[in-house]
Amino acid sequence: MERRTWSPRAKDVQHDWYIVDAEGKTLGRLATIIASTLRGKNKPTYAPHMDMGDYVVVINAEKIEVTGKKETEKVYSRHSGYPGGLTQVTLRQTRQTHPERIIKSAVQGMLPKSALGQDQLRKLKVYAGADHPHGAHNPKELTV
């Protein structure tokens, strides 16, 4: 009796498209579902070394909800690399200028920190409003 572990090949992978309406959803709970879908962990053919996941389109990112005092106390930091180049922005300020970065940052923290994780993050499309240019893909509703 021959026992071999089946391993998927690149030609076996099929990437589907899903759409999520972020209005009224909690940030962390939504981000975990999106990250799992991007990695492909919801598929029976999941392999951790391959990009098995699906594309996810998020609309109404500006209407995402957070709990507690995160609106004023959560801080996003970045550094230019120069002395004194630290820039810190609160979640409220980010929501006013670039609301799509809130969801993208939360999901990015849940993906692998490698080239594979970067490829998976590229399949995430986030839009502040209800309009998106991916209607031709006929995305299915992702249940959250």
Looking at the domain that runs over 15-141, which CATH code has it been given? 3.90.1180.10
C-alpha distance from residue 84 to each of 23, 87, 108, 135 (Å): 37, 9, 26, 44
What span, in angstroms and rounded, lies between the C-alpha atoms of 59 and 79? 29
- pLDDT, one tens digit per residue, over 21-55 is 999 999 999 999 999 999 999 999 999 999 999 99
Looking at residue 142, the DSSP 8-state letter turns out to be P
For residues 5-20, average pLDDT = 91
Mean pLDDT of the chain: 95
Domain spans of the chain, in order of start: 15-141
Q: What is the pTM of this model?
A: 0.93
Say what the pLDDT of residue 6 is: 83
